[in-house]
Amino acid sequence: MNRPNKVNIRYGLVGANGKMGAEIQSYFSSLGDLCVLRKDRGVFEEIERPQVIIDFSSPDAVFETIELCRKYSCGLVIGTTALTEEHFARLKELSEHVPVVQSYNFSTGIAILKRIVKEYASYFEDWDAAMVEIHHNQKKDAPSGTAKMLKQVLGREIPISSIRVGGVFGEHTLIFSNSGETVEITHRALSRRAFAIGVRNAALFVLGKKKGFFSYDDVLESAQAR
């Protein structure tokens, strides 16, 4: 999944001035993709119609992004966190017309971790469990969307400790413990490039779909099936 596809993408980017937005533009540009629409607070630049729109902004910008997708009749890849039930309702409504891929984490490693947790969760039913997640000191939401996603996969309530420090890209540790032993499972992002690769995988996936609401798990399963 880390091998770049030779298809060139014309994409729109909401949250273009953010750290993740900058990483997406850097990685996509290195593969010959063209950002034809850029949107951020006080910024709107449009060159031509995008094939897909990518949103890594803030919850208050999501409804405008949905309207852009309607305007251009193009699919959406959204990694914006702290979404509400109303956001999901509107995104699923949009997905009746165009393809939408939503995930709080586009790294392949986290997708694999989710599968591991799902498969082995029953083995830890009688163990205490907790999670520690660490991110850079500019991240606003806590717990992170990824932490919430992992807790949902685990299928039970667990305490989550959120640490915001320095420039950490993202680290999630699941801890299982009983009176005699402890098991820890950690995913650590070493750069934002890991997420940008996943975003591009999702964008290519969207180009091959007519409509529907998808997760990054669907993107990976589609790639494995080929």
pLDDT in tens, 141-152: 999 999 999 999
Q: Return the beta strands (E) in the chain as ranges.
A: 10-14, 34-40, 43-46, 52-55, 75-78, 99-102, 128-135, 160-164, 171-177, 182-188, 212-214
What pLDDT, on the 0 to 100 scale, is given for residue 6? 75
The pTM of this model reads 0.92
**Is there a domain that residue 91 lies in?**
yes
Query: Based on the domain organization, do 70 and 139 belong to the same domain?
Result: no
Query: Based on the domain organization, do 124 and 180 belong to the same domain?
Result: yes
Q: Which of 87, 139, 148, 209 is catalytic?
A: 139
What pLDDT, on the 0 to 100 scale, is given for residue 225? 76
What pLDDT, on the 0 to 100 scale, is given for residue 3? 59
**Is there a domain that residue 153 lies in?**
yes
Query: Based on the domain organization, do 100 and 18 belong to the same domain?
Result: yes
**Is residue 87 a known part of a binding site?**
no
Query: Based on the domain organization, do 21 and 99 belong to the same domain?
Result: yes
Q: Which of 114, 135, 151, 172 is catalytic?
A: 135
Query: Based on the domain organization, do 176 and 166 belong to the same domain?
Result: yes
| Tally of structural domains, the chain | 2
**Is residue 104 a known part of a binding site?**
yes
User: Which CATH number do you get for residue 167?
Assistant: 3.30.360.10
Residue 206 is encoded by which pair of tokens?
Answer: 């969207």
Residue 20 is encoded by which pair of tokens?
Answer: 């993740």
Query: Based on the domain organization, do 81 and 168 belong to the same domain?
Result: no
Q: Which domain holds residue 157?
A: 108-188
Question: In terms of residues, how long is the chain?
Answer: 226
**Is residue 145 a known part of a binding site?**
yes
**Is there a domain that residue 3 lies in?**
no
Query: In the chain, which residues have pLDDT < 70?
Result: 1-5, 226
Q: How many Å apart are CA 86 and CA 220, to the nearest integer? A: 27
Catalytic-residue membership of 139 = yes
What pLDDT, on the 0 to 100 scale, is given for residue 1? 54
Catalytic-residue membership of 135 = yes
Q: How would DSSP label each residue in 147-208?
A: HHHHHHHHTS---EEEEE-TT---EEEEEEE-SS-EEEEEEE---THHHHHHHHHHHHHHHT
Query: Based on the domain organization, do 139 and 71 belong to the same domain?
Result: no
Tell me which residue of 199, 191, 198, 197 sits closest to 11, measured CA to CA.
Answer: 199
**Is there a domain that residue 4 lies in?**
no
User: Which CATH number do you get for residue 202?
Assistant: 3.40.50.720
Query: Based on the domain organization, do 156 and 94 belong to the same domain?
Result: no
**Is there a domain that residue 2 lies in?**
no
Q: Please, which residues bridge with residue 181 across strands?
A: none
Q: Please, which residues bridge with residue 201 across strands?
A: none
**Is residue 212 a known part of a binding site?**
no
Query: Based on the domain organization, do 209 and 101 belong to the same domain?
Result: yes
